[in-house]
Amino acid sequence: MDLTSLNSSLKPLADIEIVSGQMRRIQFYMNAGRFESSNKLVFDYEDLHVEVLEKKSNDKMKKNVLLSAIANGAIRKNNLPNEKNYLIADYKSQRNVYRAPTNYITQGIIQGFPRIVPVKIVQKMIIKDKKKPKQKKGQSETKDVSMKGDNKLIED
């Protein structure tokens, strides 16, 4: 699939335009529980290039050259199974019980992309796993599972 076909949604929502890119495969697995899910996202793509847009005074969108260069430096151009540093995202997500089940699924998918598309240093800035605070004596343990997970590096 040509990723530029997503531009009609991306431009108004995120002021980003995909200049080029081909999606080869996308698979999402979700083992959903009542409050949390274990997820796996496979997203194979190649030749991904984006432009960051900014609104001008006449409401026209124009490319922001500096931000576009930074964005393209921060993303992985390819994620293909036969390449070194191929990533598959394994992670957990938490359900918002006040939203519909379709939101649970959509949020599960969306949370996987930052674990694959950005380069490693950017992933570390975006995905911050919460560290468990030290427990004081006599307090009960609570479990925080929001956005925890690891990317698996697959090498042949």
From the centroid of its chain, how far is CA 31?
18
Query: What's the rounded mean pLDDT across residues 22-48?
Result: 94
* DSSP-derived pairing of the beta strands 36-55 and 149-154: unpaired
Of the candidates 130, 84, 90, 131, the one whose C-alpha atom is nearest the C-alpha of residue 111 is: 90
Partnered with residue 152 across adjacent β-strands are 88
**Per-residue confidence (pLDDT) for residue 98, from 0 to 100:** 93
**Burial track 37-53 (b if 16+ CB lie within 10 A, e otherwise):** bbbbbbbbbeebbbbbb
Going by C-alpha positions, the residue among 10, 26, 5 that lies closest to residue 71 is: 10
pLDDT in tens, 94-149: 999 999 999 999 999 988 988 888 887 787 777 765 544 555 555 444 344 444 45
User: What's the pLDDT at 15?
Assistant: 85
Paired tokens of 72: 């393209």
